Amino acid sequence: MDDHKIRVATWFESLRDSICKAFEALEDSHRGALADRPPGRFEKTRWQREDADGGDGGGGEMSIMRGRVFEKVGVNISTVYGRFKEPFNKQIPGAELDPHFWASGISLVAHMQSPLVPAVHMNTRMIVTTKAWFGGGADMTPTFPREDDTKAFHAAFKAACDAHDPGYYPRFRKWCDEYFFLPHRGEARGIGGIFFDYLDSGDWEEDFAFIRDVGRAFLDVYPRIVRRHMDKPWSAEEREALLQKRGRYVEFNLLYDRGTKFGLMTGGNTEAILMSLPPEAKWP
């Protein structure tokens, strides 16, 4: 298991590096609105998990960029371990009797300057209790959905899924649609993507290969979609619609998102968890 943990944490770190490089390249090549500003650069902040009584530890690294294409994008990696406290251990497979856990993951949310460029979220993680599994997903939130972007986003994750199990894509896409939904608005958060949890096929190498393909699919498709639209001019009305769409994003993350709630309730790093919130939002 130690070898698995090291390989997983190393992959998340290298994926983080690739994503940050790709996003900075988009900042460099930007020729649209706000191009008079300097291209954005990621700033990294390390944090350590507090170790009140010796049994918990680990930490992570937040990378945040405030740029001229990416209004605010956070890419977090973390590797933490310890014991789930009552009553949270009851909700975690394999932690009911022995609360020890280890978890490593990458989590990303991008809020864009242009209302014509979709916001996006991606995360993948491995959790170890007395069981071990992978989870993750990616979903896109355009203010003005476009058929070609939606198709490209879904096609990328379908290909990543299909290379591993033909049952994955239909199941994980449906799970995503059900998860990223605001019942009080009767609205989806965006155009969907994939969402999965408790993934343990019995073949760890195969599951880890799938997790890597999900990361690579994101790294391929999202920058392509950004590049299509980032140089286009937008109107004040379109920007206003973006800010209101972001209000819904805030509602979802604070009312329903399991990761956000679980992280805050279990004493996670507040700044890292709430990095998903948009830089500006409106409820007019």
Rg value, the chain, Cα: 19
Q: Based on CB atoms, which residue is closest to its own copies, 10 or 244?
A: 244
Out of 39, 250, 259, 262, the residue judged to bind its own copies by CB under 8 A: 250
Local structure of residue 34 (DSSP, 8 states): T
Q: Based on CB atoms, which residue is closest to its own copies, 198 or 283?
A: 283
Residue 247, interface with its own copies (CB under 8 A)?
A: yes
Euclidean distance between CA atoms 73 and 16, whole angstroms: 12
Euclidean distance between CA atoms 58 and 56, whole angstroms: 7
In angstroms, give the least distance from the CB of 191 to its own copies.
Answer: 22
In angstroms, give the least distance from the CB of 67 to its own copies.
Answer: 13
Give me the catalytic one of 30, 121, 164, 229. 121
Out of 36, 54, 166, 184, the residue judged to bind its own copies by CB under 8 A: 184
CA nearest neighbour of 150 among 137, 161, 140: 140
Euclidean distance between CA atoms 57 and 34, whole angstroms: 42
Q: Which region among 131-139, 170-178, 213-221, 271-279 touches its own copies (by CB under 8 A)?
A: 271-279
Q: Which region among 3-11, 36-44, 183-191, 227-235 touches its own copies (by CB under 8 A)?
A: 183-191
Burial-class residue 190 by CB neighbours within 10 Å (0-12, 13-18, 19+): buried
- Under rule CB under 8 A, which residues in 60-79 are in contact with its own copies? 66, 72
Out of 93, 158, 254, 262, the residue judged to bind its own copies by CB under 8 A: 254
Euclidean distance between CA atoms 97 and 229, whole angstroms: 51
Residue 282, interface with its own copies (CB under 8 A)?
A: yes
Euclidean distance between CA atoms 58 and 80, whole angstroms: 4
In angstroms, give the least distance from the CB of 284 to its own copies.
Answer: 5
Strands of 70-83's sheet in order across: 43-48, 57-65, 70-83, 100-112, 119-128, 132-141, 192-199
Q: Determine whether 184 is an active site residue.
A: no
In angstroms, give the least distance from the CB of 175 to its own copies.
Answer: 22
Q: Which residues contact 146 (CB under 8 A, 6 or more apart)?
A: none
Size of interface with its own copies, in residues (CB under 8 A): 24
Q: Based on CB atoms, which residue is closest to its own copies, 20 or 277?
A: 277
Residues marked active site are found at 121
Applying CB under 8 A, which residues contact its own copies? 66, 72, 183-185, 243, 247, 250-251, 254-255, 261, 264, 270, 273-274, 277-284
